[in-house]
Amino acid sequence: MSKTSLAIYIFVMAFSTYLIRMIPLLLIRDKINNRFFRSFLYYVPYAVLSAMVIPAVFYATNDIRTGVAGFVTALVLSYKEMNMVTVACVSCIVALFVELLIL
């Protein structure tokens, strides 16, 4: 691959990514009043973050059982409305202990 074609590829990708972000800003100038669309946009970041994090939790360790143990611990602590830092730390410690017990 030559340097020229690599530069063209980078330019095309940058331009297309820019268009995806720029077009909604140009087309939608007023405040969005549609209740459904506003609620949809409100929950999109949470859905995307969940879709990226949940699979990584199960496959971050050598054994899926350790990921499940950490995930269940996080669910229980979150249900009890614990602090997010506490939930993350305790879940990691539980996953580590389960990993040590399995080996």
Q: How confident is the model at residue 103 (pLDDT cuts 50, 70, 90)?
A: confident
- Total domains in the fold of the chain: 2
**pLDDT (tens digit, 9 = 90+) per residue, 29-84?**
888 888 998 899 899 999 999 999 999 999 888 899 999 999 999 999 999 999 99
What does DSSP assign to residue 30? S
Full domain range(s) for residue 12: 1-30
Task: Give a yes or no: residue 38 inside a domain.
Answer: no
The more confident residue out of 25 and 76 is 76
Question: Under 8 Å CB-to-CB from 87, ≥6 apart: which residues?
Answer: 74, 77, 78
Q: Give the model's pLDDT for residue 88.
A: 94
Within a 13 Å sphere around the CA of 56, how many CA atoms are in the beta-carbon half?
6
Instruction: Extract the tokens encoding 58.
Output: 């199960």
Whether residues 26 and 59 share a domain: the answer is no
Note the pLDDT of residue 28: 80
Q: In the predicted model, is pLDDT for residue 9 greater than 90?
A: yes
Q: Is residue 53 part of a domain?
A: yes
